[in-house]
Chains A and B, each alone.
Chain A
Protein backbone atom coordinates (compact mmCIF):
# COMPACT_ATOMS: atom_id res chain seq x y z
CA UNK A 1 0.00 0.00 0.00
CA UNK A 2 1.41 3.38 -0.95
CA UNK A 3 0.77 6.77 0.54
CA UNK A 4 -1.26 7.76 -2.51
CA UNK A 5 -3.33 4.59 -2.37
CA UNK A 6 -3.93 5.05 1.32
CA UNK A 7 -4.72 8.73 1.07
CA UNK A 8 -7.28 8.42 3.81
CA UNK A 9 -4.78 6.93 6.20
CA UNK A 10 -3.11 9.19 8.67
CA UNK A 11 -0.77 6.79 10.42
CA UNK A 12 1.58 3.92 9.87
CA UNK A 13 3.11 1.47 12.33
CA UNK A 14 6.83 0.87 12.46
CA UNK A 15 6.40 -2.37 10.52
CA UNK A 16 4.34 -0.68 7.82
CA UNK A 17 6.76 2.24 7.58
CA UNK A 18 9.75 -0.09 7.26
CA UNK A 19 8.02 -2.06 4.54
CA UNK A 20 7.00 1.05 2.63
CA UNK A 21 10.50 2.47 2.85
CA UNK A 22 12.20 -0.83 2.05
CA UNK A 23 14.36 -0.64 5.16
CA UNK A 24 14.92 -2.92 8.16
CA UNK A 25 13.04 -1.82 11.24
CA UNK A 26 16.15 -1.42 13.37
CA UNK A 27 17.28 1.50 11.19
CA UNK A 28 14.02 3.32 11.79
CA UNK A 29 14.18 2.54 15.50
CA UNK A 30 17.71 3.95 15.65
CA UNK A 31 16.55 7.25 14.17
CA UNK A 32 13.70 7.45 16.67
CA UNK A 33 15.92 6.69 19.63
CA UNK A 34 18.44 9.29 18.52
CA UNK A 35 15.70 11.89 18.38
CA UNK A 36 16.10 12.43 14.65
CA UNK A 37 12.54 11.31 13.97
CA UNK A 38 9.77 12.16 16.41
CA UNK A 39 6.58 10.17 15.73
CA UNK A 40 3.77 12.58 14.96
CA UNK A 41 0.99 10.21 15.91
CA UNK A 42 2.22 8.19 18.86
CA UNK A 43 5.48 7.65 20.65
CA UNK A 44 6.43 4.31 22.14
CA UNK A 45 5.75 4.38 25.86
CA UNK A 46 6.76 1.11 27.41
CA UNK A 47 5.24 -2.28 26.84
CA UNK A 48 2.02 -2.41 24.93
CA UNK A 49 2.38 0.78 22.98
CA UNK A 50 4.16 1.22 19.72
CA UNK A 51 5.23 4.14 17.63
CA UNK A 52 2.92 5.38 14.94
CA UNK A 53 4.01 7.69 12.19
CA UNK A 54 2.49 10.27 9.89
CA UNK A 55 3.07 10.70 6.17
CA UNK A 56 5.46 13.50 7.03
CA UNK A 57 7.40 11.13 9.26
CA UNK A 58 7.75 8.77 6.30
CA UNK A 59 9.29 11.55 4.23
CA UNK A 60 11.61 12.39 7.13
CA UNK A 61 12.63 8.75 7.36
CA UNK A 62 13.30 8.67 3.64
CA UNK A 63 15.60 11.67 3.84
CA UNK A 64 17.28 10.62 7.07
CA UNK A 65 17.95 7.07 5.95
CA UNK A 66 19.64 8.22 2.77
CA UNK A 67 21.84 10.62 4.70
CA UNK A 68 22.74 7.91 7.16
CA UNK A 69 23.51 5.52 4.31
CA UNK A 70 26.37 7.80 3.23
CA UNK A 71 27.69 8.24 6.73
CA UNK A 72 26.15 11.55 7.75
CA UNK A 73 26.07 11.73 11.56
CA UNK A 74 22.75 11.62 13.40
CA UNK A 75 22.94 15.20 14.74
CA UNK A 76 23.32 16.53 11.20
CA UNK A 77 20.44 14.37 10.04
CA UNK A 78 18.40 15.64 12.96
CA UNK A 79 19.13 19.20 11.93
CA UNK A 80 17.94 18.48 8.39
CA UNK A 81 14.68 17.02 9.67
CA UNK A 82 14.25 20.00 11.96
CA UNK A 83 14.65 22.44 9.07
CA UNK A 84 12.11 20.53 6.99
CA UNK A 85 9.57 20.76 9.81
CA UNK A 86 10.10 24.45 10.28
CA UNK A 87 10.00 24.92 6.52
CA UNK A 88 6.55 23.35 6.42
CA UNK A 89 5.31 25.46 9.33
CA UNK A 90 6.39 28.74 7.75
CA UNK A 91 4.94 27.92 4.36
CA UNK A 92 1.65 26.87 5.91
CA UNK A 93 1.22 30.38 7.27
CA UNK A 94 1.33 31.68 3.71
CA UNK A 95 -0.20 28.74 1.87
CA UNK A 96 -2.87 27.13 4.09
CA UNK A 97 -3.05 23.43 3.53
CA UNK A 98 0.58 23.05 2.55
CA UNK A 99 1.91 19.82 3.98
CA UNK A 100 4.81 17.48 3.51
CA UNK A 101 5.08 15.24 1.59
CA UNK A 102 1.80 15.75 -0.26
CA UNK A 103 2.47 19.29 -1.45
CA UNK A 104 5.71 18.19 -3.09
CA UNK A 105 3.73 15.83 -5.31
CA UNK A 106 1.97 18.65 -7.12
CA UNK A 107 2.83 19.13 -10.75
CA UNK A 108 4.30 22.57 -10.23
CA UNK A 109 6.18 21.65 -7.10
CA UNK A 110 9.71 22.83 -6.83
CA UNK A 111 12.82 20.74 -6.46
CA UNK A 112 13.96 20.81 -2.84
CA UNK A 113 17.23 19.11 -1.96
CA UNK A 114 19.65 18.72 0.92
CA UNK A 115 23.31 19.11 0.03
CA UNK A 116 26.39 18.38 2.08
CA UNK A 117 29.52 19.63 0.43
CA UNK A 118 33.13 18.62 0.81
CA UNK A 119 33.51 21.96 2.60
CA UNK A 120 31.82 20.16 5.51
CA UNK A 121 28.78 22.41 5.34
CA UNK A 122 25.07 21.76 5.10
CA UNK A 123 23.02 23.46 2.39
CA UNK A 124 19.51 23.35 1.05
CA UNK A 125 18.75 24.03 -2.59
CA UNK A 126 15.44 25.11 -4.06
CA UNK A 127 14.42 25.79 -7.57
CA UNK A 128 12.79 24.77 -10.80
CA UNK A 129 13.79 24.46 -14.41
CA UNK A 130 12.64 27.98 -15.19
CA UNK A 131 13.84 29.87 -12.19
CA UNK A 132 17.10 28.05 -11.70
CA UNK A 133 18.33 26.83 -8.36
CA UNK A 134 19.21 28.83 -5.28
CA UNK A 135 21.29 27.58 -2.41
CA UNK A 136 20.71 28.38 1.25
CA UNK A 137 22.59 27.56 4.40
CA UNK A 138 26.26 26.76 4.66
CA UNK A 139 25.96 25.56 8.23
CA UNK A 140 29.14 23.97 9.47
CA UNK A 141 28.66 20.28 10.25
CA UNK A 142 30.92 20.69 13.22
CA UNK A 143 28.56 23.23 14.72
CA UNK A 144 25.76 20.70 14.42
CA UNK A 145 27.72 17.86 15.94
CA UNK A 146 29.40 19.64 18.82
CA UNK A 147 27.27 20.20 21.88
CA UNK A 148 29.33 22.82 23.64
CA UNK A 149 27.54 25.57 25.47
CA UNK A 150 26.25 28.35 23.34
CA UNK A 151 28.70 31.20 23.57
CA UNK A 152 28.72 34.67 22.21
CA UNK A 153 31.58 33.70 19.98
CA UNK A 154 29.54 30.88 18.50
CA UNK A 155 26.66 33.23 17.78
CA UNK A 156 28.99 35.59 16.00
CA UNK A 157 30.43 32.77 13.95
CA UNK A 158 27.00 31.48 12.95
CA UNK A 159 25.45 34.83 12.09
CA UNK A 160 25.16 35.56 8.36
CA UNK A 161 24.48 31.90 7.60
CA UNK A 162 20.95 31.26 6.44
CA UNK A 163 20.61 33.72 3.62
CA UNK A 164 21.32 32.65 0.06
CA UNK A 165 24.68 30.95 -0.03
CA UNK A 166 27.13 30.64 -2.86
CA UNK A 167 29.39 27.69 -2.10
CA UNK A 168 32.57 27.82 -4.10
CA UNK A 169 35.21 25.31 -4.89
CA UNK A 170 33.13 22.25 -4.13
CA UNK A 171 34.57 19.17 -5.79
CA UNK A 172 32.27 16.65 -4.19
CA UNK A 173 28.91 16.66 -2.47
CA UNK A 174 26.13 14.50 -1.18
CA UNK A 175 22.73 15.54 -2.47
CA UNK A 176 19.42 14.13 -1.32
CA UNK A 177 16.33 15.12 -3.28
CA UNK A 178 13.51 15.70 -0.82
CA UNK A 179 11.07 16.15 -3.70
CA UNK A 180 12.29 12.93 -5.29
CA UNK A 181 11.80 10.99 -2.08
CA UNK A 182 8.29 12.38 -1.70
CA UNK A 183 7.53 11.17 -5.21
CA UNK A 184 9.13 7.77 -4.55
CA UNK A 185 6.81 7.25 -1.62
CA UNK A 186 4.00 7.01 -4.17
CA UNK A 187 5.49 3.81 -5.54
CA UNK A 188 5.40 1.77 -2.32
CA UNK A 189 6.80 -1.67 -1.73
Chain B
Protein backbone atom coordinates (compact mmCIF):
# COMPACT_ATOMS: atom_id res chain seq x y z
CA UNK B 1 0.00 0.00 0.00
CA UNK B 2 1.44 3.35 -1.00
CA UNK B 3 1.28 6.65 0.85
CA UNK B 4 0.30 9.73 -1.09
CA UNK B 5 0.85 13.31 -0.03
CA UNK B 6 -2.44 14.73 1.06
CA UNK B 7 -2.04 17.57 -1.41
CA UNK B 8 -2.03 15.13 -4.35
CA UNK B 9 -5.36 13.71 -3.27
CA UNK B 10 -7.01 17.03 -3.99
CA UNK B 11 -6.32 16.52 -7.68
CA UNK B 12 -8.67 13.53 -7.56
CA UNK B 13 -11.60 15.81 -6.87
CA UNK B 14 -13.87 16.58 -9.79
CA UNK B 15 -14.50 20.29 -9.92
CA UNK B 16 -18.03 21.20 -8.98
CA UNK B 17 -18.82 17.77 -7.56
CA UNK B 18 -20.72 17.86 -4.31
CA UNK B 19 -18.66 16.07 -1.71
CA UNK B 20 -21.34 16.45 0.94
CA UNK B 21 -19.13 18.85 2.87
CA UNK B 22 -20.36 19.15 6.41
CA UNK B 23 -20.29 22.79 7.46
CA UNK B 24 -19.51 21.86 11.02
CA UNK B 25 -16.18 20.22 10.09
CA UNK B 26 -13.07 22.33 9.63
CA UNK B 27 -11.37 22.30 6.24
CA UNK B 28 -8.37 20.50 7.65
CA UNK B 29 -10.59 17.77 9.02
CA UNK B 30 -12.32 17.30 5.67
CA UNK B 31 -8.93 16.87 4.06
CA UNK B 32 -8.00 14.31 6.67
CA UNK B 33 -11.21 12.36 6.21
CA UNK B 34 -10.65 12.37 2.44
CA UNK B 35 -7.22 10.86 2.98
CA UNK B 36 -8.63 8.27 5.36
CA UNK B 37 -11.35 7.28 2.90
CA UNK B 38 -8.79 7.06 0.12
CA UNK B 39 -6.51 4.71 2.06
CA UNK B 40 -9.44 2.58 3.19
CA UNK B 41 -10.81 2.31 -0.33
CA UNK B 42 -7.50 1.39 -1.91
CA UNK B 43 -7.03 -1.35 0.67
CA UNK B 44 -10.54 -2.62 -0.08
CA UNK B 45 -9.74 -2.79 -3.78
CA UNK B 46 -6.45 -4.54 -3.09
CA UNK B 47 -8.08 -7.17 -0.90
CA UNK B 48 -10.89 -7.77 -3.40
CA UNK B 49 -8.37 -8.22 -6.21
CA UNK B 50 -6.39 -10.59 -4.02
CA UNK B 51 -9.52 -12.61 -3.28
CA UNK B 52 -10.42 -12.74 -6.97
CA UNK B 53 -6.95 -13.97 -7.80
CA UNK B 54 -7.18 -16.71 -5.21
CA UNK B 55 -10.53 -17.76 -6.62
CA UNK B 56 -9.07 -18.11 -10.09
CA UNK B 57 -6.16 -20.16 -8.73
CA UNK B 58 -8.55 -22.46 -6.89
CA UNK B 59 -10.61 -22.97 -10.03
CA UNK B 60 -7.49 -23.86 -12.03
CA UNK B 61 -6.46 -26.43 -9.42
CA UNK B 62 -9.93 -27.97 -9.42
CA UNK B 63 -9.89 -28.30 -13.21
CA UNK B 64 -6.53 -29.98 -12.98
CA UNK B 65 -7.80 -32.51 -10.44
CA UNK B 66 -10.89 -33.34 -12.43
CA UNK B 67 -8.80 -34.10 -15.47
Chain A residues with CB under 8 Å of chain B are 35-36, 38, 75, 78-79, 81-91, 94-95, 108, 110, 112, 124, 126-128, 130-131, 134, 136-137, 139, 143-144, 146-150, 154-155, 158-159, 161-164
Contact = CB atoms under 8 A, between A and B. Distances in A.
Interface residues of B, number: 37
A35 B28 CA distance: 19
B36 A164 contact: no
A150 B38 contact: no
B16 interface: no
Residue from B30, B47, B52 whose CB has the most chain A CB atoms within 10 Å: B47
A148 B40 contact: no
Nearest to B51: A108
A86 B19 contact: yes
B43 A126 contact: yes
Contact of B41 (A91, A137, A161): A91
Nearest to A148: B26
B28 A150 contact: yes
A81 B25 CA distance: 13
A84 B41 CA distance: 9
Which secondary structure dominates chain B's binding surface?
A: helix
A158 B29 contact: yes
Which secondary structure dominates chain A's binding surface?
A: mixed
Contacts of B27: 150
A76 to B, nearest CB: 10
Contacts of A35: 22-24
B47 to A, nearest CB: 6
A144 B29 contact: yes
A90 B41 contact: yes
Nearest to A143: B29
B45 interface: yes
A75 to B, nearest CB: 5
A162 B29 contact: no
A65 to B, nearest CB: 18
A79 B34 CA distance: 10
A78 B24 contact: yes
Contacts of B12: 90
